[in-house]
Structure 1
Amino acid sequence: MASQFDAQGRLRHLVTLKDVPRAQLVALLDRAESYLTPPGAKPASNDTLAGRTIANLFFEPSTRTRASFELAARRLGAEVLSLDVSTSSRAKGESLLDTIYTLQAMQIDIFVIRDAQSGVPAYICDHVAPHVAVLNAGESHLNHPTQGLLDVLTMRRHLGDLADKVVTIAGDIQHSRVARSAHHALMTLGVGELRLVAPPTLAPDASEFPGATLLDSIEDGVRGADVVMCLRIQRERMEQGHGPDAAEFHRQFGLTPERLALAQPHAIVMHPGPMNREVEIAGSVADAPQSVITEQVTNGVAVRMAVMQTVMETLHG
Structure 2
Amino acid sequence: MNQDLSAPAPHAAVDASRHLIGLQEMPRARMEALLDRAQHFADGHDERRALAGVAVCTLFFEPSTRTRLSFQLAAQRLGADVLSFDASTSSTSKGETACDTLKTIEAMGVRGFIVRHKDDGAVAGLAAEAGEGTCLINAGDGRSAHPTQGLLDMLTLRQAKGADFSRLKVLIVGDVKHSRVARSDLHALRTLGTGEGRSIEIRVCGPQALLPDDDTLHGCAVSQDFDAALEGVDAVMMLRLQRERMEDGLVASLEDYHRDYGLTLARLARADADAVVLHPGPMNRGVEITDAVADGPQSLVLRQVANGVAVRMAVLESLLKG
1:227, distance to aligned residue in structure 2 (A): 0.3
Corresponding residue for 1:3?
Answer: 14
> 2:230 pairs with 222, 225, 229, which one?
222
Corresponding residue for 1:8?
Answer: none
Q: Which residue type is aligned with residue 41 of structure 2?
A: Y
Equivalent runs, 1:93-242 vs 2, <5 Å: 93-160=95-162, 161-192=164-195, 193-205=201-213, 207-235=215-243, 240-242=248-250
Q: Which residue type is aligned with residue 265 of structure 1?
A: A
Q: What is the CA–CA distance in structure 2 between the aligned matches of 1:238 and 1:110, rounded to whole Å? A: 32
Alignment check: 8 A CA contact 1:172 1:202 kept: yes
TM-score, normalized by length of structure 2? Answer: 0.91
Alignment check: 8 A CA contact 1:206 1:214 kept: no
1:147, distance to aligned residue in structure 2 (A): 0.3
Alignment check: 8 A CA contact 1:114 1:139 kept: yes
- SS of corresponding position for 2:37: helix
Q: Unpaired segments of 5 or more residues in structure 2?
A: 1-11, 196-200
Alignment check: 8 A CA contact 1:36 1:44 kept: no
Alignment check: 8 A CA contact 2:179 2:242 kept: no
1:44, distance to aligned residue in structure 2 (A): 3.3
1:10-60 Cα offsets, whole Å, 9 max, x none, are x321000000000000000000000013xxxx7734210110011111001
Asked whether 1:282 is paired with 2:290, we answer yes
Identity of aligned residues (%): 49
Q: What is the CA–CA distance in structure 2 between the aligned matches of 1:236 and 1:71, rounded to whole Å? A: 28
TM-score, normalized by length of structure 1? Answer: 0.93
1:248, distance to aligned residue in structure 2 (A): 1.1
Q: What is the CA–CA distance in structure 1 between the aligned matches of 2:53 and 2:217, rounded to whole Å? A: 41
Q: Which residue type is aligned with residue 152 of structure 2?
A: L
Q: Unpaired segments of 5 or more residues in structure 1?
A: 6-10
- SS of corresponding position for 1:186: helix
Q: For the aligned residues, what is the CA RMSD?
A: 1.5
> 2:259 pairs with 238, 244, 251, which one?
251
- SS of corresponding position for 1:81: strand
Rate the CA distance shift 1:56–1:65 in 2: closer, same or farther, 3 A: same
Q: Which residue type is aligned with residue 133 of structure 1?
A: C
What stretches of structure 1 move > 6 A for 4+ residues in a row?
A: none
Equivalent runs, 1:38-49 vs 2, <5 Å: 44-49=46-51
1:192-233 Cα offsets, whole Å, 9 max, x none, are 111111111111126222211111011122111000011011
> 1:31 pairs with 30, 37, 51, which one?
37
